[in-house]
Every structure is written in structure tokens, then in C-alpha cells.
Structure 1
Amino acid sequence: MMCITARHFNLNRILLLTIGLWPYQQSKFSRLRFIFFLGILTTAILFQVTTFFNSKCTADLVVKILSSALFFTTFVIKYIFFAINAETVKDLLTQLQHICDQLKDECENAILERYSYNAKRYTIVLTTLSICTISALIVAQLCPNIINAILPINVSQSHHLPIMTEYFVDQEKYFSLIFLHLNAAFCIGIAAMVSTGTMLIAYLEHTCGLFKISSYRIKRAMRAIVLQNINTKNDTLMLEEIRCAVDIHRQAMKLSKTLVSKFEAMLFCLIAIGVISLSLNLFQIFQIASNGDNNIDEILFPSVLVFISVLYMFCANYVPQNVTDHNNQVFVTVYNVQWYIAPLYVQKLMLFLLQRNTREFTLGVGGLFVGSLESFAMLVKASVSYFTVIYSTQ
């Protein structure tokens, strides 16, 4: 018996173990690590909001603080909601394991292996991209200090953080600790976003594999009809093959819908906060550019946040679109096979399957938002529209 968590989700397991969210190993140390990391994330948001206490509240200040604070809030939302649904993730993996145990054909296992490889590729690419982004951001912040160490100048330079904070201490004196805290929070947040996101992507990729297996079983059953003589034994095998194809198709839809329904509240919050954060960070970039400042430090951080937000929105909509396309491909397969030469009782089964296509299968949030590339374009368009409204008021 193949263990899918060890073979198909091994990279996701390592990432989730790092931040204490792997559902199968919830030790006391994992819970303490979760609390510690969550404390760093929440205090990073708190010390950004406390800037309002010691500064005059202006529109520019509100935009500057909220543009980063809301982005850090998305980290906390993903971290908490995934921890709350740890048992749900474990149960979904158990259901997927049960389905995989029923695969006996080598071609079906090969199909699932191929989609497992796709999931691992997504995980590796996104993890590498996040490491490069974090490294570039940290190096950019330390670059002035590095240059000053190599080419020292007599003029003292004040330290600068990419976001506004208020720790109620001398920030020049304790700059190293503040710098460490903020960057630790950013690293933990990105790790939480990548590890939980790639886990959901990997799971949905495996459901795409199940849809592909359903198409394969339909083709195999109809090919048997064309190549073999119809007799009682073949009738039984043919009906069983079609029944298995319909059953795995139904289970793939159920697993996909269940996953999205369990994380529906999280996705709704991420959509709302993500659009607002993207709009505010776009405003930050254009405001700095319009002021004629050539300070790369100031424009770099909001640019990174915009890049991460757009990439996350794209991935969050591309994967559900991929699931929908694989579901539609099952019905395309039914249309294309020579079902009309099959016995009448087989044709009736095929018609029942085709009738299912009259109801569109999509993965959405509360019936208000459907995950698709069209929705991704809609979110970006909405963010740009809000940014335009804010920018026009200045």
C-alpha cells in the first residue's frame, strides 16, 4: 500500500513541519512553535498600528501603515485558519489515500504520479521564488550598511526601515532588534503563505489527476466495446468500468468542493483584504514615483508586496480553473468516444453522465466568487480601480 503523504506530499510535509502546521505530528513542541510564530506575526502588525498613537493621523499616514499592516494580516489569517482546519486537512488526505488505494491499473498510478510531479514542481518553484524574494529584500535593506562598511564616510547615517513602526523605544538604539523582529515576521509569514498554499495546490492537483483517471477509464471501456465482441462477461466488465469512471469522477468533485468549503471563510477574508492591500501598495508606489524621489529603499518594499499579491491571486485562481477544465475534459471525452455504437443500456449510462455537464462545476466562495482566470483579471481590475480612485483624490 502506497502512503501518499510520504510519497506525494513529502515536500509539503517538510514545509508545514517547519512552521508547526503538519496535521499528523502535533506535538507540544509544534504547538509552542505555532504560538511563538503567531506571536511574532501579530506583534509585527500591532507595532505598525501603534504608529497612529504618536503621529498625526493623515490620509498619507493611513495609506502607508495599512498598505503593509493589511498584507501582514493575510499572513495571520492563513496561519490561523490552516491551524484550525488541521483535522480537516488530515481527513481529506485520508479520503484521498482511500481512493488511491483502489487504483490497480499501472496507467492510473502513472497518471497520479504525473500530477504528483506537477504538484512538487509548483512547490519547488514557489518555495525557490519566495526564498529569492526574501533574500533580495533583506540584502536591499542591509546594502547601505554593507557599502558604508566597505567605503566608510564621515557623515552619520540614520537607519531606515521599509515600513513605519512604533515600538515605544529608541529605534536608533534598538534598530538591530526591530530589524530582526520585522524581517522574522515577514519570513514566517511568507513561509506560512507558501507552505499552506502549496499544500492546497498539491491537493487540488491530485483531484485533477482523479478527473484524468476518470477520462482514461471511459476511453478504456469504450475501446473494449469497439475491439471486443459483446457477450455477458464483457457486458459485466464494461458496466463495471463505466461505473468506476463515474464513481471516481464523483469523488474528485466531492474532494474539491469539500476542500474549498472548509477554507471558505479564509478565502473570503483573503480576497477582501488582498484587493485593498494591493490597491494601497499601488498607490504607495505611484506616490513615491510622483514625488520624484529616487530612494530605492522606499519603493522596493511596496513593489515586493504588489508582486506577491498579484502572484498569489494568480495561483489562487489558476488552480481552480485547472480543476474546472479537467472536469470539463471528462465530458469532452464522453462526447468524443464512439458511445453511439455501444449497447443501448451503455448509451443510457453515457446520457446520464452527459446530463451532469448541464450544471457547471466550479470552485467558488459563498456563491459570490468563482475561482478562474477571469476572476483573477476581475480582482486585478478592481484593485487598479480602487487605486485610481484613491490617487485621483490626491
Structure 2
Amino acid sequence: MISLETRYFNTNRILLLILGLWPYKQSLFTRLQLILLFNTLTTYVLFQFTIFLTSKCTLDLILKVFSSGFFFVCIMIKYNSFCVNINTIKSMCEQLQNLYNELKDVNEVAILEKYGSRSKRFTTAIMVFAVTGEIIFALLQIWLHIHNSVLSANKSHPPEIVITEYFIDQEKYFYLITMHRYAAWIIGGFAMVGTGTWLIAYLQHICGMFNIACYRIEQAMTADIIQMRCLKSEKEIHKEIICAIDIHRKAMKYTNFFIINFERSFFFLIASGMVSLCLNLVCIAMFDGHIEQLVLPIVMSIVLYFYLFIANYVAQEITEHNSYVFVTTYDNQWYMAPLNIQKMVLFLLQRGTKSFNVILGGIFVASMESAASLLSASISYCTVLYSTR
């Protein structure tokens, strides 16, 4: 028996264990770990918005605080969605494991293993991207610190890239505040990578299920139908098509299970992400020569666009794999099969006239076209905000 946890989800498991989100290791220590990490993120977000209690509310301040604040709100929403859906994550893991256990055909196992390997490559690539980004951002922080504190005549601590208000003496408790800030950034990075790569791995396995449905249809229908009637009984063909329809139905069921449980979270995630993206683009457009004011908006914009592209690309694959099931059915010689088989195939083809989409937040149809629309909308909103500032 193949163990998904150790073979294809091992890296994802480690990331979720670090975050206290792995559903099979929910001890008291893990609960405390989860509370500590989530509270670190939450307090960092709150301390960004509390600046309005002690500073004059200006357009420049609103742009700086909201652009970074809503970025971390996105991370907090994603982290919280996994906290709330711990049992859902466990159920999703068990669904895939049960599917693996049911497979008997070597070729079907090979198909699912191919998609499992793809999910591992996705996870590795995203981790490399995230670690590289964290290192570059840390080096930029160090460079700005040296530039403002060592090379210049000003011996005070450098200005914050993310504006916060802790209601304490920031000079006296500088290192404590810096530790809290860096802890929030590291937790946020792990949260985005850990939760995102796990969902990608899950959806990649669903793509494999659609591919297995195509394979089963081909096995039942692609051979010469006249010879097939001699070699196989109508009952056997009927049984093979039922198996194909069954795994196709399960793939759609698993996708809908994921969408329903994360629907509200994705609604707020999309809204917060668009607000942060538009405001960061405005901050970039308003660049006035201070490099430290440009670093964070560029980093956050790149991360949001990357996340937007990857999420819609994976969802687009689900839609395309579902469509390919019906293309495979239509391309075979189903019209030469026995009449009862033809009737069954016609019902399957009729189902193919209705597209199957991943709808996030109940309003957003995830696809590459939708990603391009959001990209265009963010630039349009940025232009409007910049022109009316």
C-alpha cells in the first residue's frame, strides 16, 4: 500500500507541522504552538493599524499602512482557514489515501504517481522561490540599515519599512520589536508556502483522477468494437465505463468538497488581496526617490501576482482535465458499441456540455482568463487611485 504522507506529501507535512496545522498531530503542544503563531501574526497586523491612534491620518499614511496591512491580513485569513478546517484537511487526506488503496491497475497507479511527482516539483519550486525572496528581502533590510545608520550621519535606528505602533518606546525596545516583526514575516512566509503548496498537491491529485477516468474510457472503447464484441461481453464493457464514471464523479465531488469548505475564506482572501495589490501599485507609482519606500511594495506585489497566477493555473488545469474526459469519450468509436453502451455514453457526453469550474469565494471562476482580468483590474484601479490622490 502506497502511503501518500511519506511519498508525495512529506514536504507539505513538514511545512504544516511547523505551522501546527498537520491534522494527524494535534497534541496539546501543537495547539499551543498554533495559538502562539496565529497570535504573533494577528498582533503584528493590529500593531500596523494602531498607528492611526497616535498619528495624523493622511493619504500617504493610509496608503502605506493599508498596502502592507491587508497583505498580512491575506496571510492571516489563509492561516485561519486551515486552523478552522483542520478536520476538513484530514478528511481530504483520507479521501486521496482511500483512492490510492482502491487502485489495482498498474497504469492507473502510474498516472496518479505522475501527478504526485508533479505536486512535489511544484512544492520544491515554490519553496525555492519563497526562500530566495526571504533572503533577498533580509539582505535589503540589512543594506538599508547600514545605509541609514552607518553610512549616514544619523545614528538612530533606520525608519521602519512597515509602519507600526507598539505603544512603547521603540528606541528602548528596538530589538524586541524587531524580533516580533521578523517572527511575523517568517511565520507569514511559511503560512503562504505551506498552505498553498498543500492545496496545489491536493488539486494535482484530482487532475490525476480525471486522467484515470480518460484511461478507463479508452480501455473500454478504443479497441476495434467488432472484435471487442467477441472478446468482451457487453456486461464487461458496461462495468468498465461505470468505473470510469465513478472516478470522474469522485474527482468532481472532492473538488466541490474543497470549494465548499474554503468558500468564505477565499472570498475574504480575494477581497483583501485586491485591496493590497492596488494600494501597493499606487505606492510604486508614487515613488519619490527613497529606495526604502519602494522595496516592500515591489516585494508584496510580486508575491500577490505570483500567488494569483499559480492559483488560477492549477484551477484551470482542473477545468481542462474535466473537459478532456469528454473529448476522450467523443473521440472513441462509441457509436459502434452495443446500443445499451451507446445510451450510457450519450448521457456522459451530455454532461460534458456543462463546464466544470473551480469557483472561489462563490463569485470568482478561477482560470487564466480570470487571472488576466484581475491583473487588468488591479492596474485600472491603481490608475484611478493615482490620478485622484
- TM-score, normalised to structure 1, is 0.94
Question: Which ranges of structure 1 fall in alignment gaps of 5 or more residues?
Answer: none
Counterpart amino acid of residue 296 in structure 2:
F
Question: Which ranges of structure 2 fall in alignment gaps of 5 or more residues?
Answer: none
Q: What is aligned with 1:79?
A: 79
Q: CA deviation at 1:274?
A: 0.6
Counterpart Cα distance in 2 of 1:70 and 1:275: 9
Counterpart Cα distance in 1 of 2:199 and 2:42: 24
RMSD between superposed Cα atoms in Å: 1.8
Matches within 5 A, 1:64-75: 64-75=64-75
Counterpart Cα distance in 2 of 1:232 and 1:118: 37
Q: What is aligned with 1:209?
A: 208
Q: What is aligned with 2:347?
A: 352
Q: CA deviation at 1:234?
A: 2.9
Q: CA deviation at 1:245?
A: 0.4
Counterpart Cα distance in 2 of 1:279 and 1:153: 33
Q: What is aligned with 2:304?
A: 309
The DSSP-based 3-state class of the residue aligned with 1:21 is coil
Cα contact 2:218–2:332 (8 A) shared by 1: yes
In the superposition, relative to structure 1, how do residues 366 and 174 fare at CA in structure 2: closer, same or farther (>3 Å)?
Answer: closer
Q: What is aligned with 1:341?
A: 336
The DSSP-based 3-state class of the residue aligned with 1:263 is helix
Give CA-to-partner distance per residue, 1:93-115, whole Å, 9 cap, x none: 21222222111111111100100
Give CA-to-partner distance per residue, 1:340-375, whole Å, 9 cap, x none: 221221111110110101221111035421111111
Q: CA deviation at 1:332?
A: 0.5
Q: What is aligned with 2:199?
A: 200
1:298 maps to which of 279, 287, 293: 293
Give CA-to-partner distance per residue, 1:146-195, whole Å, 9 cap, x none: 5799x867653542221111112232332222222112101101211111
Q: CA deviation at 1:319?
A: 1.0
Counterpart Cα distance in 2 of 1:66 and 1:155: 28
Counterpart Cα distance in 1 of 2:211 and 2:146: 53
Q: What is aligned with 1:110?
A: 110
Q: What is aligned with 1:375?
A: 370
Cα contact 1:67–1:277 (8 A) shared by 2: yes
Q: What is aligned with 1:159?
A: 158
Q: CA deviation at 1:204?
A: 0.6
Q: Which moved more, 1:250-259 or 1:228-237?
A: 228-237
Q: CA deviation at 1:237?
A: 2.0
Cα contact 1:340–1:347 (8 A) shared by 2: yes
Cα contact 2:148–2:158 (8 A) shared by 1: no
Q: CA deviation at 1:61?
A: 1.0
Counterpart Cα distance in 2 of 1:332 and 1:233: 24
Q: What is aligned with 1:268?
A: 267
Q: CA deviation at 1:53?
A: 1.4
Counterpart Cα distance in 2 of 1:194 and 1:74: 13
Q: What is aligned with 1:390?
A: 385
Q: What is aligned with 2:240?
A: 241
Cα contact 2:145–2:157 (8 A) shared by 1: no
The DSSP-based 3-state class of the residue aligned with 1:230 is helix
Q: Is 1:29 the equivalent of 2:24?
A: no
The DSSP-based 3-state class of the residue aligned with 1:160 is coil
Counterpart Cα distance in 1 of 2:90 and 2:52: 42
Cα contact 1:138–1:183 (8 A) shared by 2: no
Counterpart Cα distance in 2 of 1:231 and 1:221: 14
Q: What is aligned with 1:173?
A: 172
Q: Which moved more, 1:263-272 or 1:364-373?
A: 364-373
Cα contact 1:225–1:342 (8 A) shared by 2: no
In the superposition, relative to structure 1, how do residues 153 and 325 fare at CA in structure 2: closer, same or farther (>3 Å)?
Answer: closer
Q: CA deviation at 1:267?
A: 0.5
Cα contact 2:144–2:292 (8 A) shared by 1: no
> How much identity, in percent, do the aligned residues show?
47
Matches within 5 A, 1:213-224: 213-224=212-223
Counterpart Cα distance in 1 of 2:300 and 2:250: 37
In the superposition, relative to structure 1, how do residues 227 and 118 fare at CA in structure 2: closer, same or farther (>3 Å)?
Answer: farther
Counterpart Cα distance in 1 of 2:20 and 2:70: 23
Q: What is aligned with 1:47?
A: 47
Counterpart Cα distance in 1 of 2:259 and 2:184: 27
Cα contact 1:275–1:380 (8 A) shared by 2: no
Q: Which moved more, 1:271-280 or 1:382-391?
A: 382-391
- TM-score, normalised to structure 2, is 0.95
Matches within 5 A, 1:118-133: 118-133=118-133
Q: Which moved more, 1:75-84 or 1:174-183?
A: 174-183
Q: What is aligned with 1:253?
A: 252
